[in-house]
Every structure is written in structure tokens, then in C-alpha cells.
Amino acid sequence: MLKYIIRRLVQAILVIIGVSFISFMLLHLTGDPVDLLVPLDAGPVARQEMRVALGLDKPLFEQYFRFMGGVWRFDFGRSIFQSSKTAMQVVGAALPNTLLLAGCAFVVALLISFPVGILSAVKRNTWIDRAGMIFALIGQSIPVFLLGTLFVWLFAVQLGWLPSDGMRDSRGQNLDDFWDLPRHLLLPSLSLGLFTTARQVRLVRSSMLEVLSQDYIRTARSKGLRQFMVLRRHALKNAMIPIITILGLDFATLLSGAVITENIFSWPGVGRAAVEAINQHDFPVVQAAVFVVALGYVLINLMVDLLYAYLNPRIRFG
Amino acid sequence: MKTKTRNLGLVMTALMLLGLLAACGDSTATSVPATTAAATSAAAATTAKATTAAAVATTASVATTAAVVATTAAGGVATTAVATTAATGTNPAVVYPPTLAGGPIDQIVFAQGVDPTTLDPNDHNETPAGNVLNNIYDTLIFWSPDLKLVPRLAESWKQLDEVTWEIKLRKGVKWQDGSDFSADDVKFTFDRYQKADRQPRPVQRRANLKSIKETKVVDPNTLQITTSAPFPSLPNQLAVEGIVSKKYGSGDKGDTILELAPMGTGPYKFVEWKKNDYIDMVINPNYWGPAPKAQKVRFRTIPDAQTRLSALQSGAVDVITNVAPELVDQLNKSDKTGITTAPSVRVIFIILNSLDEGPLKNAKVRQALNMAVDRDGIIKAILNDNGIKIAQPLTDRHFGYNPNISQYAYDPDKAKQLLKEAGYPNGFEMTFNFPNGRYLKDKEIGEAIASQWADIGVKTKTSSPVWTDYVGLINNRKQAQAYLLGWGNNTWDADNTLFTLLDKPKADVTVADGSVYSYWINEKAQKNILEAKTVSDVKKRESLYQEAEQIVHDDAAWVFLHQQKDIYAFNKAKIKWQARSDEALNAFEVAAAK
């Protein structure tokens, strides 16, 4: 078990190094931020001035070593455009908002996919099952931006039940209202979460089906256990193992899917900060954002792997 | 799954994430930077029925968070009527800011597509940031809504000689922190522009005032500015540079404070800035001008154009920018939302390479290309009538505009005739670049023109590089033989357009001389453009520019397309407001609806 953990840790570190390297290279090879920092008609002298000031005139490798040195301290340098903040501060300020959104989307996905998936598996081939699968198909087929836009149009403009966008009240009122934040969270979480919900429904269903066809389930039933106890005590736990693995990947995916949702719903998260930084070629902020998301991926998968090992004795002792 | 495979999967996913982020950054669709480019491209409004308004799918307008708007501008003189007083500036005929009629408004919420990266008025080139800051900071000179130069912090200004200006400042003005405004503050502000070794980098607007050699404080209300060369349009430039407080902005932390917590002499005081969310301000009780109606102002950032619209329709915001042309009808039909448009400062055109060997060297060919474009059709079909044909590089609000130049007619037969006379009866081939998502409907317009040119036998090889690459091609002198560009000269003075775009072409990318955009040589016109830079006599300057404009038109240096119209929408049950050509969102111009 210990060897397993250590191996996973080392692999995680290697992944982080690789991602940092690639993000550094891609950024530097795809454009000159100076073009955006000076007016279009500024001329080569102004450009060079800016370039030197930002250290962009140094050779690529020197820039890279300075960069790698900083990565371990979570130091990506100053933002080029928001010069009073470090890149990590820019990303760090936005990160809690994205975690909140991704977390809620994740919970929404769980709350819907488990009951629907289990029900579909148990009532296999009935209309309930069919309805569940059609829901899954639709959910996976509609792109996030269309879903989000439709939700806003329906619930905010036509019905007026929910706010159109943003994290808190658009005019800065109702700040003491406890329900203000949840009201603003609802539509974006739904939009973001429905895609993974659809996929999870299928997964839960197929995993449950596989488990339900096992011998020990038949044994439990023949012992006289009620359906509910069968499901809870025996089926679900074993079905969870593959589900958890995918859930981990899903949560990490939510972090990146949040980019589009954050733009549709004006959610001030990492996705928006990253897109803005990419458009401006604010290198340090882009690298910080990519690093944070990659780190999130790696950590979550590490946790999932460890959880997996814990749940599945075959791995733990194998 | 084996761990090796899984790790490979992780790396691949991370790569795809990067790719997705990069792609989103470059993607088509709405790119607000061009300020007016609302461009929800792929407006799938087939039947444009109100019920399916939401179906105007903003193709993952991720790119909207874009951009630093390079509104390449300097300042600009107003219309020709002001000519006589441009060099000795005051314009007592115009009273501005206006004292508005009607009752108070509790709060106005403006929604823009891009969040400012900084609130330092000297350190950005973004229209959205400028819009916010124009409510908090004063410049020395105002642009009135019809683009006349009007006193602001400067009561009057005059030229003492070719390179020296004297500016008399308004008395009794107080900073929002209670201290007194004086000429020292102006000197402090302009000196900030001069610092080449400022950390971490020089202020972004540095190039705008590079002609200023020295700012001298004569007395607390009088300033003298010396320029290194004659700079007749200095007042135009001063109309867009905000003045900061010396006391507030000095010291080690000065730059940081200015970036995060603006403090000016304007009608509104800064309250709070939540990045990518909102900027709050409240009325300044010590403002030197007439009190505005709105007590509180908030600028929100809503990157997605459709969401902006929904926010307006659901009453969450009061004014939205960059409305797509196809939504105008729907918004007009509602009795809550109204539309206001303004002729944009931005014009769209195609630069033709008449420098290098090829068919484009012949003026007849260039004229033919102009005549082959059906601009009325494009404006009607692609822009929903939100465009104005142009026949010259300047709009009618720019100083130097020549009202006597007539449009190229849409005449494909005549165009073919001209090609034949030039020796190309069967047409020819050339390269043609246009951006995608930088300007309103740029891709659709480019494609339409390519097909119209094909109709007269000119086959084009088209390409739409990503905007940063597009700029790179311009700067490295590697652009296509015909390339589409937009230019928003909000100095409102011919120099920033004609000199920057139509001066002699740069001989080499490393040389400072010459224009990097220009691929056209004409002795007379370019001599005029250079001469006008130094002439102080307003009438003489104007006629130099007008002559140059005529030549540029007749010689068809460009294919002249159109001037955009900026479209805004607002809550007409609550407020009354007219959009401005300089894209400003001045809360002190907004009155209550009743």
C-alpha cells in the first residue's frame, strides 16, 4: 500500500512538471503580449521599452528556469496588466468562486444521477428506465452555453423567478438575504452539472446492473431481505467502486467546464480570469491558472486512487 | 485502468484543457475589444421571432472577456465649426456638463462586456476602463456629446508659440478627499507619462503624450506645456487623459493605490471594485459642476452578449453596450427597453498593397475593387442597417473631413471595364485577409466582399488569422495584398488616422519612420499629411487634410467600406439617455425618464 501511494505521488509530481512546461512553451510560442500593452500605433521603440521592462527580452531558457524556480513556491510573478497583484493572487481571488460553483454542480449531479440511475437499473426496461436514458441522452447532447442561455431566458426573463446572472444581487441590494447566493447559484450549477449528471446516470445504472446480476445479490434476496436492504447493504457499495473513479474525474472536469458557464453567467471565477488573461497574453496569470487547475486534477485523482485502494481490498493488500 | 495509462490520460486531459483554453481565447464570436464588435456571430435568428430570442446562440462567446481594447486614440478636434477656436480653446457656446431636468435616480447600473484590468486612468488602453473612470476623474478638456472641445479642469487654453501652450485651470476645484486641486497635480500626472523606468513598466498611455517635453507650473492655476515638435491637436489629446492627485498618487505605494482605488475631481466617488463583478461609485457632494441625477452608479461586467440582454430585460441592469444588430427590432418592441445608437468613431476599410509589383499597383484596379463592393447590400443584410457608407478615411465628425468627396458607386460592369482598361480582362488572383470576431460581423463582411470581387473576376485567397497574429502580420509587414482593418480614432483629428495609416510605408520593420500599415505612396498627399502636423493655422491645416483626403479617395488607396453604428439598449421606463460617438458611458448625462 505504501509503495502504491509513493508511486502515485511521484507520478503526480511528474504530471505537474510536464503541464507547467507545456503551458510555458505554448504561451510563449503563440504571441507577443507587448502588442496588447501598447497602443497599436505605438512603434518599435515603445514596444521594446515594454518588452525589457517585463523581462520578455531575455532568452527563452532563462525565462523558463526562472519560471520553474517559482512554480514550487506557487510564485508565477506579477500579473502584467493588474500590476499590483501577483498572478497567484489574481487566480487565488477567483478560485473560491469556482470551487463553490463546481462543488454545487457536483452536488446537483449527485443528487439527480444517483436516484435516477439506481431507479433505472432496478426498474430496468420499464418506462422509468427509458425516461432516465432519454434524459441522459438529452443532457449529454445539449451544449452548456445553449442550456445556460435557455435557462436564463426562461427563468429570469420570461418567468422572473431567478436572477439572470452574477454571484450576488445585480444592484447590490439584498446582501443580508441568506437566499441571495443560493438563488444565484441555482441556474449556473444546473447548467454546469447537467452534463455530468447525464453521464453519471448511465454509469450508475450500468454499474448497478452489473452488481445486481451477481450471485451474492441473488443470495441476499433468497435470504428474504427486502429490496431496499439489498440495495443499500450489498449492491450500492460494490457498485460505487467504478463510480467513484469517474466521479473524481468528473469533478475535475467541472473545474474546466466552468469556463463557459462562468462566461454565460458572469460568474467571477478562475475560468473568466483565465480567459481574460489568455486574450491579453498575461502570461503569468495564464500559467498560474493552468497550474492551479492541473494541480486540482492531480490532487483529486490522487485522492480518488487512494480512496479506491481503501474501498477495494484487493488493491489494498495486493 | 493501469496507472501508466491513467497518467497518460491525465496529461492528455491537461493538454486538452490547455488546448480548450487556448482555443477559447482565439475563438470566433463576440470579441468586445473592438468595442463596437458585439458580433454574436452565427446569429441563428432564422425567423427572428421574439419567442426564440434566446436562440441567437452566442457561440460560446468565451472570447468576449477579451481584450484590451486598443482604441488607438489620441485626442481629436470636433467638427469644422469649431475651427476658429481650436487653437485658442474655449467654447462658451456649449454648456457642459448639462444641468439635467427631472428627478433623482436612485441607482444606475451599466453593463459592459469587459472588466477593467486597472482603475489607473493613465495606465490602460481599454474603452471599458475609460468609461468607468470618466465618471470619477476629470480630464482637462471635455468632449461634449456632439464632439466639441469644452472646458473641464482647464478653463481656457491657448498657444503662445508653435511649441508652447498655456492652460488656465479652473479655480475652487476640490479632490474627492477634500484637498485642493492645482497645477501641481497636472504636472504630476503628465510626468507619470514621461517616466521610462517606472516599475514594473511605463504607463500604457505613455505614447499619447510623448510629444510633451516639459510641463511647467507657472502658478497654482496656470500651466505651460512645451512640446518637442509642433502638436496642433494637443487639446484633443488632453480631452482623454485623466488627471490624478499628486498627494494621493505619490510615494512607493502611489501606483498601487491609483490602480485599485481611484480618487478624482469628478462627479462620482469610488466605493468598491470586485474584479470581474462590479465597480460601485456614489455621488460626489463637492463636485464643481452641476449635480448629476443618479445618486449611485454601478458598472457591472457581463461578458456574454445574450446574458447582457437578459439582464436588461429582467431589470437587473439599466444600460447595456454592444447590442447585436439583429436584436434591435425585438428590443424596440418592448415598452421597457429602448435602443439608442450613435455613429461610431470606428470606420472599416480594406488596405490595398499598391507598393509591391502586381495588379494593385494600377489605380484603375483599385478603383474597380471599390466599385465592385455592394456596400448598401452589406449594410442592409449583414449589419441590419447599422452602418454608414464612407468615401474617405475620416468620419464627418473628424477634423479634416472633406464634405465634397462623393462615394464610389456600386457598379460591377464599370469595375470590369476598368479592369479591362488596366490590362486584366480576365481578372487576377490575390490574397485577402480579414479578422474573425474583432469587428462587428467582420467575417461575414469579408466573405461577402470576396464573393463580390469574384463576380468581377478577382479571385481571392482568403484567411482569417487570430487577432494577435493579425496584428503580428501588420507589424512585421507581412500582411495580405488586401487586408481589412477597423480604426477608431477618438482624437477626432485627422492626424491620428492619416499619419498613422497613410504616411509613407515603412521601409523596414526596425526603422521608426513610416507607417507600418501603409502600402501606398503619393508625394502630394503624404507631403500634406506631414506638413499639417506642424501647422497651427486651423484653416490651413484643414485644407491640407481635405486635399489629402480627396487624393486618398481618388487614388483608391483603400477600399472604403463603412462607419459602424454603436448600438446600446437601456431601460426606457426608468431613464433617458443618448449614446455617444466616443462610446463614453457618462452617468452624469443620464436623466430620469419622467
Give chain B's residues under pLDDT 70.
Answer: 1-5, 7-94
Mean pLDDT (whole number) for A168-185: 90
Task: Please tell me the predicted confidence (pLDDT) of residue B2.
Answer: 60
Task: Please tell me the predicted confidence (pLDDT) of residue A39.
Answer: 62
Phi, psi of B167 (to 5 degrees): -125, 125
Cβ pair B310:A157 closer than 8 A? yes
Task: Please tell me the predicted confidence (pLDDT) of residue B87.
Answer: 41
Task: Please tell me the predicted confidence (pLDDT) of residue B561.
Answer: 97
**pLDDT tens for residues A207-238?**
888 888 888 888 888 888 788 777 777 777 77
Gap from A197 CA to chain B (nearest CA, Å): 20
Task: Please tell me the predicted confidence (pLDDT) of residue B277.
Answer: 92
Task: Please tell me the predicted confidence (pLDDT) of residue A256.
Answer: 73
Residues of A numbered 150-179 whose beta carbons fall under 8 angstroms of chain B's beta carbons: which are they?
150, 152-154, 156-157, 160, 163-167, 170-172
Interface test with A, best of B280, B306, B468, B497 (most A CBs within 10 A): B468
SS3 A136: helix
Gap from A314 CA to chain B (nearest CA, Å): 14
A50 touches chain B (CB under 8 A): yes
What CA–CA distances, in Å, run from B382 to A257, B59, B386, B442, B460? 32, 17, 9, 10, 21
Please report residues of B whose CB lies closer than 8 A to that of A19.
11, 14, 18
Cβ pair B54:A81 closer than 8 A? no
Task: Please tell me the predicted confidence (pLDDT) of residue A38.
Answer: 66
Give the separation between CA B547 and CA B255, rounded to whole angstroms.
45
Task: Please tell me the predicted confidence (pLDDT) of residue A57.
Answer: 80
CB neighbourhood size of A3 (10 A): 7
Torsion of CA B100, B103, B105, B111, to 10 degrees: -40
Mean pLDDT (whole number) for A115-122: 88
Task: Please tell me the predicted confidence (pLDDT) of residue B175.
Answer: 97
A49 touches chain B (CB under 8 A): yes
Neighbouring residues of B264: CB distance < 8 A, sequence distance ≥ 6: B121, B133, B136, B137, B138, B175, B176, B242, B243, B244, B245
C-alpha cell at A32: 507577443
Residues of A numbered 183-242 whose beta carbons fall under 8 angstroms of chain B's beta carbons: which are they?
none
Instruction: Supply the mean pLDDT for chain A.
Output: 84
Residues of A numbered 252-271 whose beta carbons fall under 8 angstroms of chain B's beta carbons: which are they?
252, 256, 259-260, 263-266, 268
Please report residues of A whose CB lies closer than 8 A to that of B469.
31
Q: Is the pLDDT score of A70 beyond 90?
A: no
**pLDDT tens for residues B137-193?**
999 999 999 899 999 999 999 999 999 999 999 999 999 999 999 999 999 999 999
C-alpha cell at B106: 436612485
Give the separation between CA B245 and CA B54, rounded to whole angstroms.
46
Gap from B422 CA to chain A (nearest CA, Å): 34
Task: Please tell me the predicted confidence (pLDDT) of residue B92.
Answer: 55
Mean pLDDT (whole number) for A1-16: 84
Task: Please tell me the predicted confidence (pLDDT) of residue A283.
Answer: 80
Gap from B224 CA to chain A (nearest CA, Å): 26
Mean pLDDT (whole number) for A260-283: 88
Task: Please tell me the predicted confidence (pLDDT) of residue B289.
Answer: 93
E strands present in B251-394? 268-274, 278-283, 294-301, 319-320, 337-352, 387-389
Percentage with pLDDT > 90 across chain A: 21
Q: Quick check: B205 and B240 in contact, CB under 8 A?
A: no
